[in-house]
C-alpha cells in the first residue's frame, strides 16, 4: 500500500555542520541513536554522513577522526532527497536507483525535516517488495 513519506519518516533529522570532526559526529549519532546525520548549515544541505562513511572512508583509510571533518567524508550533492508529500513508492524507487538505504526529507524550500530509511519503508511495503533488491545493493559507492 502506497503511503506518504510524512507518514513513515523519522521526523527531526539530526544535523552537524561540515567542519564538525568525525569523533564529534559519531558521538552525536550515539547520543541520538541514529546511523546517520545530515551535514548542513541551517537549511543548506551539504551532504549526508553515515556511521559507515566514518569507518570505511576515514578510519579504515587512516584518517584521524579527531581532525577529519564531516564535510570531507560525507556523501555530497547531489544528495537525493524527498519531500514529505512524496510517496513511499517514490522513496523505494530512489533508494534502488541510487543504492542508498536512507534519504533526507526536505520541505519544498530545502529545509531538512526528517529522514526515511529502508527500515521505515519495509514496515509499510511488505516482504515481497523492491526493498529486497535495495538491501542487497552495494553500499560502498
Domains of the chain: residue spans and CATH:
5-136 (3.10.580.10)
Residue 39 backbone phi and psi in degrees, to 5: -105, 110
Q: Band of the pLDDT at 97, cuts 50, 70, 90? A: very high
Digit-coded pLDDT (tens) for 112-129? 899 998 988 887 655 555
Q: Band of the pLDDT at 141, cuts 50, 70, 90? A: very low
pLDDT, residue 78, reads 72
The percentage of the chain sitting over the pLDDT mark of 70, rounded to a whole number, equals 86
pLDDT > 70? residue 131: no
pLDDT, residue 49, reads 94
CA 19 from chain centre, in angstroms, equals 18
Start-end of H helices in 4-130: 5-8, 22-32, 51-52, 70-73, 88-98, 118-125
Q: Band of the pLDDT at 2, cuts 50, 70, 90? A: confident
User: pTM of this prediction?
Assistant: 0.78
Average pLDDT, the chain: 87
Amino acid at each position: 500500500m502506497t503511503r506518504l513519506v510524512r507518514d513513515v519518516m523519522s521526523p527531526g533529522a539530526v544535523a552537524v555542520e561540515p567542519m564538525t570532526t568525525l569523533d564529534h559526529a559519531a558521538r552525536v549519532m550515539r547520543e541520538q541513536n541514529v546511523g546517520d546525520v545530515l551535514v548542513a548549515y541551517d537549511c543548506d544541505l551539504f551532504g549526508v554522513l553515515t556511521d559507515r562513511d566514518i569507518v570505511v572512508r576515514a578510519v579504515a583509510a587512516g584518517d584521524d577522526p579527531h581532525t577529519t571533518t564531516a564535510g570531507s567524508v560525507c556523501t555530497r550533492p547531489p544528495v537525493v532527497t524527498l519531500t514529505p508529500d512524496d510517496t513511499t513508492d517514490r522513496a523505494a524507487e530512489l533508494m534502488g536507483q541510487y543504492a542508498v538505504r536512507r534519504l533526507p526529507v526536505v520541505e519544498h524550500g530545502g529545509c531538512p525535516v526528517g529522514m526515511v530509511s529502508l527500515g521505515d519503508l519495509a514496515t509499510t511495503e511488505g516482504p515481497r517488495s523492491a526493498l529486497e533488491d535495495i538491501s542487497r545493493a552495494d553500499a560502498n559507492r
